[in-house]
Amino acid sequence: MQVSVEQFGDLGRRLKVVVPSDRYAQGVHARIRELSKTVALHGFRRGKVPAMVIEKRFGQQVRDEIGNEIVRETLSEAIAQEKLRPAVTPQVQVDTIDPEFAYTATFEVMPEFGEIEVGDLEIERETAQISDADIDRMIDNLRRQRMSLKPVERGPAAGDYVSFEFSVDAGDARVPAEGMERGLTVIGQNAVLPEIEKALEGLAAEQSASLEVDFPADYREAQLAGKHARIEVKVLRVSEVAMPEVDDAFAASFNVHGGVEQFRQEVRANLERELTQALAMRLRAQVAEKLVARFDAITVPEGLVKQDMEALRRQFIAEANERARRAGQPQPPEPALESFRDTARRRVLVGLLLAELAGRNQIRLDAERVRAALAAIASTYEDPAEVITLYQQNERLMDGLRSRVMDEQVAEWVADHAKTTLVERSFQDVLQPSAAA
């Protein structure tokens, strides 16, 4: 076998492989003889089909099979011989069959990173603990999920739900064009204009009011933006929130049958799983940021970047279409593929750097961590066993999970070998940074 390599661009390679012609010819003849003994054709006894008939009927198929078989057997050997590391699946083109079997494999190779020194990287490794206040806050959120609304005759107070109808007359614009439009707001959440909320606070069910409002110039409805308008409002219903008591029955509604104390323990366990995952993700993000800043000049394989661009675009379109569907709006225009290039390139670079560090430092995937990560994901669903089975039967999902765990392991290795400072955070800082701020 003869092998030659041609370089194009920084990472492109054309690998020319020439195999002695007799290997191809012998393979074709052997396959035809095999078929003549096993194929059943009308007019011939099984095992007695002449080779020339097999050639006429199956010749091209056999030649393709043997050619593909030779490529499979020799390509990996040729790549290893030339010490190449393909970044993407090679594209193979058969050049000649006679007098010699020759093909060309075109692909991009992995970039050369040189020395990847992490000892001088400055990393902040966050830690956090679950407090009783965090558990109380989560239980309060769960109570709100099970809350009920009780109509009241009085005017609304902070936290009450107010159902109302309204119309806006801005002279040359009216919303709605005819009749009244309905709305729902919670007093104190500032979901409507302050003037409207103040008017609602002074009304009970079936009471009305008129008010004048100057809409801000950047108001979301262009026809009202910057205009002075008269608003008619009528309260339809005022409802106060009825929160369930945290008792054994409340715990049982979440399939916890050991009482309130057991329920708190279950909540703590769930929060700890969330916290562990969040801290790992934040550490990976910080390590990625530091590595990209140092190795941003590295050329990454365009094939990998394009694959990630397409994946990001598909995800964006699916999510945008789902949001539009839920809002009863038409599907938005699809974004240009190139708009995802910077994000895709960064993601590819991070992935390559983490993989390189894993390989150089013999970091092996921890199967127990994969199982624990899967259990953490499953625990957030009503039937954890069903989710675990779904993952185990879907190799794409498992590959994604293994990749995430491996990235977390490498990020931890970097933090262990870098200039790392431990920073104590609260649970709220980690899980809900915007709320904590």
DSSP state of 224: T
Q: Are 295 and 351 in contact (CB under 8 A)?
A: no
Location of structure tokens 């026809």: 223
- Tell whether 213 is covered by a domain: yes
- Tell whether 59 is covered by a domain: yes
Cis peptide before 99 (omega within 30 of 0): yes
In this structure, the answer to whether residues 131 and 8 fall within a common structural domain is no
- Tell whether 128 is covered by a domain: yes
Q: What is the pLDDT along the chain (437 residues), one digit of tens a residue?
A: 899 999 999 999 999 999 987 888 888 888 888 887 777 776 676 666 777 777 777 878 888 888 999 999 999 999 999 999 999 999 999 998 878 899 999 999 999 988 999 999 999 999 999 999 999 999 999 998 899 999 999 999 999 999 999 999 998 889 998 999 999 999 999 888 899 999 999 899 999 999 999 999 988 888 899 999 999 999 999 999 999 999 999 999 988 999 999 999 999 998 998 999 999 999 999 999 999 999 999 999 999 999 999 999 999 999 999 998 887 888 889 999 999 999 999 999 999 999 999 999 999 999 999 999 998 899 888 788 999 999 999 999 999 999 999 999 999 999 999 999 999 999 999 987 544 33
> How many CB atoms lie under 10 A from the CB of residue 170?
19
Q: How far apart are CA 427 and CA 404, in angstroms?
A: 22
In this structure, the answer to whether residues 45 and 27 fall within a common structural domain is yes
Structure tokens given for 99: 């007098």
- Tell whether 45 is covered by a domain: yes
Q: How far apart are CA 305 and CA 346, in angstroms?
A: 9
In this structure, the answer to whether residues 24 and 72 fall within a common structural domain is yes
Measure CA 227 to chain center.
43
In this structure, the answer to whether residues 264 and 398 fall within a common structural domain is yes
- Tell whether 288 is covered by a domain: yes
pTM for the whole structure: 0.74
Structure tokens given for 284: 């990976």
Q: How far apart are CA 332 and CA 323, in angstroms?
A: 10
Q: How far apart are CA 210 and CA 214, in angstroms?
A: 14
In this structure, the answer to whether residues 189 and 277 fall within a common structural domain is no
CATH number for the domain harbouring residue 50: 3.30.70.1050
In this structure, the answer to whether residues 212 and 267 fall within a common structural domain is no
Chain length of the chain:
437
Cis peptide before 176 (omega within 30 of 0): yes
